[in-house]
Amino acid sequence: MSEQVQWIDENGERVDGRKPNELRNVKMEAGVLKEADGSAMVEIGNTRVIASVFGPQDLHPRHLQESDRAVIKMRYNMAPFSVDDRMRPGPNRRAKEIGLVARRALEPALELEHFPTAGIDISMEVIESDGGTRATGITAASLALADAGIPMKGLVSSCAAGAVGDHVVLDVNGKEDKEGDADVPIATINGGDQITLLQMDGDLTPQQVEECVELAKEGCADLDRKQREALLSRYRGEEQ
């Protein structure tokens, strides 16, 4: 399939007009839900995710509690209207897998030891999907956690790079994700070298893997800056 598509044209542009190392348009906003302790909306291209955080709060049933730290309960859900073909409502195997991946990507940045026996509920709701939903969800969840005032070692941002034909590109969109050769989503703390998530879907050479990781790290650094801008905008606005 990938050989039938001109992934990079004669002007060096991808199917959506971007350069190979260019992120899609990014919009972020913190504090979008009044009833949540923390919340955020992140739009990357045509992918949009709203994340909410409730807690720390009492965790029930009690046998789930940990005596030395808080427990993260993660929920990832794609709204039925988020994709072209209407999805069946409710959790599925893929949603549970992405929720687990997101929790593991976020936990290294959280200082959970401050809240023994407590629970922190995180929800990621995909409103619109066009590739990169797990990465966008992780980025939104981290922003929501910061908005909730959860102690953190740093913000977690997530981005994917992938291979389409003979080209390595940043932030794969829906078409590149479905019809391309592979993608490598990663997550980093503070946009730096500490990686908390590294996955690969597809076949890549060792050199392509290295190129994807380095390119995705650059994307994470850009997203980290935008997360900080969103938080500053949120609290500067409250002070006015």
What's the pLDDT tens digit per position in 152-209? 999 999 999 999 988 999 999 999 998 888 999 999 999 998 999 999 988 899 999 9
Query: Range of 82's domain?
Result: 2-239
Percent of the chain whose predicted confidence (pLDDT) is above 70? 93
Percent of the chain whose predicted confidence (pLDDT) is above 90? 81
Task: State mean pLDDT over 217-235.
Answer: 96
pLDDT bin (cut points 50, 70, 90) of residue 94 is confident
pLDDT at res. 2: 45
pLDDT at res. 236: 86
pLDDT at res. 143: 98
Given a cut of 80, whether residue 1 has pLDDT beyond it is no
Whether residue 206 is preceded by a cis peptide bond, meaning omega within 30 degrees of 0, is no
Averaged confidence pLDDT in the chain: 92
Instruction: Region of 158 please: left (phi>0), alpha (psi -120 to 50) or beta.
Output: beta
The count of domains in the chain is 1
Given a cut of 70, whether residue 22 has pLDDT beyond it is yes
Given a cut of 80, whether residue 84 has pLDDT beyond it is no
Given a cut of 80, whether residue 82 has pLDDT beyond it is no
pLDDT bin (cut points 50, 70, 90) of residue 85 is low
Q: Two tokens at 118?
A: 């407590």
CATH number at 52 reads: 3.30.230.70
54, 75, 143, 185, 213 from 58: Cα distances, Å: 11, 18, 23, 33, 39
CA distance 21 to 18: 8
In DSSP terms, 30 is beta-bridged to 40
pLDDT at res. 89: 60
Nearest in space to 51 (alpha carbons), one of 151, 155, 137: 137
CB atoms near residue 89 (< 10 Å): 10
